[in-house]
Amino acid sequence: MIRIVTDSTCDLPPDLVLRYGILVVPAVLNMEGKSYRDGVDISRADYYARLPGLKALPTTAAPATGEFETVYRECGDAEIVSIHLASQLSAMFNAARLGAEASGARVTLVDSGNVSMAIGWQVLAAAEAVAAGRPLAEVAAAAESTRKRVKLFALLDTIEFLRRGGRASAFAAALGELLQIKPMLEVAEGSLIQLAKPRTHGKGVEKLVELVQALGPLERLAVMYATTPVEAKSLADRLAPLSPRPPLVVEATTVIGTHAGPGALGVAAVKAM
């Protein structure tokens, strides 16, 4: 038996998590003196409603090593494939590694090198391989194949939340606000790569469409949003002809939203083999 473990930053919709019996370890959100387990103690909708009015930006953290150890032990004698947030961006992967060592379980750890549904697609590929009765090596290979082909593009409404989270300089943030630049980024191998600097949100959306179209034939597609579900659905509808399956529309986890900020949009596309 093989079990799939991931963390809540993967953004995989709950129905797919339930269908494939995926175990999800929640990330931690520290806000106004309290700690919350992402998706357990606070919903994403509640969080985004509170975010604009907060005096201090919430901080995010990986779960304690013991959280992973407990989940791995719950898997009993099963072999485990555990897929997590890019190690360059968080202590999540290291916490999973230490939890695996403490549990004594047979855990194959996979560094996704990415965030949000760019992790989620890797998790789903592995889960589908398990459901198809594939052996451990092929399950891990399915995740790795998806990792090599997934692209994640993000359009931010402001650079301010990246600055407050320590991922952009104060100067860059001030200049961005002055020029009304809408940062456009790609996440690849744990790095944030600046792609473009559209001057309006609308131009940024058009650039997102162009980037996805340039990928060629797709296997899967998801649109992620922080606070604009209607816009995300509209973007998904525009991109739908590029994908053989209907695109997923996903509300981004609180951890991603903390750094991306309100109004952020993202696209996670898996190129066809």
Average pLDDT, the chain: 89
Task: Mark whether 126 and 240 lie in a shared domain.
Answer: no
- The rounded percent of the chain whose pLDDT value lies above 70 is 91
Enumerate the β-bridge partners of residue 193: 186
**What's residue 171's pLDDT?**
32
Task: Mark whether 178 and 267 lie in a shared domain.
Answer: yes
Assign 3-class secondary structure to 46-100.
HHHHHHHHCCCCCEEECCCHHHHHHHHHHCCCCEEEEEECCCCCCCHHHHHHHHH
Task: Mark whether 31 and 136 lie in a shared domain.
Answer: yes
Task: Mark whether 159 and 70 lie in a shared domain.
Answer: no
pLDDT tens, 167-199?
443 334 333 443 356 888 898 988 888 888 788
Task: Mark whether 180 and 129 lie in a shared domain.
Answer: no
Task: Mark whether 69 and 183 lie in a shared domain.
Answer: no
Compute φ and ψ for 66, nearest 5 degrees. -60, -30
Task: Mark whether 119 and 188 lie in a shared domain.
Answer: no
Flag whether pLDDT at 123 surpasses 50.
yes
CATH of the domain at 260: 3.30.1180.10
In a 3-state reduction of DSSP, which class is residue 218?
strand
Name the pLDDT band for 162 (thresholds 50, 70, 90). Answer: low
Picking from 148, 179, 198, the residue at the C-terminal end of a domain is 148
* Least confident span in 15-29, 31-45, 210-224: 31-45
| Structural domain count of the chain | 2
Compute φ and ψ for 144, nearest 5 degrees. -65, -40
Flag whether pLDDT at 235 surpasses 70.
yes
Quote the distance between the C-alpha of residue 241 and its chain's center.
23
**What's residue 160's pLDDT?**
62
- For the record, the structure tokens of 109 come out as 């750890």
Picking from 148, 167, 187, the residue at the C-terminal end of a domain is 148
Task: Mark whether 72 and 206 lie in a shared domain.
Answer: no
Determine if the pTM surpasses 0.85: yes
pLDDT tens, 4-37?
999 999 999 999 999 999 999 999 999 888 999 9
Task: Mark whether 73 and 161 lie in a shared domain.
Answer: no
Q: Which domain holds residue 59?
A: 2-148
Quote the distance between the C-alpha of residue 143 and its chain's center.
15
Name the pLDDT band for 43 (thresholds 50, 70, 90). Answer: confident
pLDDT tens, 59-114?
889 999 999 999 999 999 999 999 999 999 889 999 999 999 999 999 999 999 99
- For the record, the structure tokens of 61 come out as 């953290």
Quote the distance between the C-alpha of residue 25 and its chain's center.
13
**What's residue 176's pLDDT?**
41
Task: Mark whether 84 and 216 lie in a shared domain.
Answer: no
**What's residue 101's pLDDT?**
97
Task: Mark whether 141 and 165 lie in a shared domain.
Answer: no
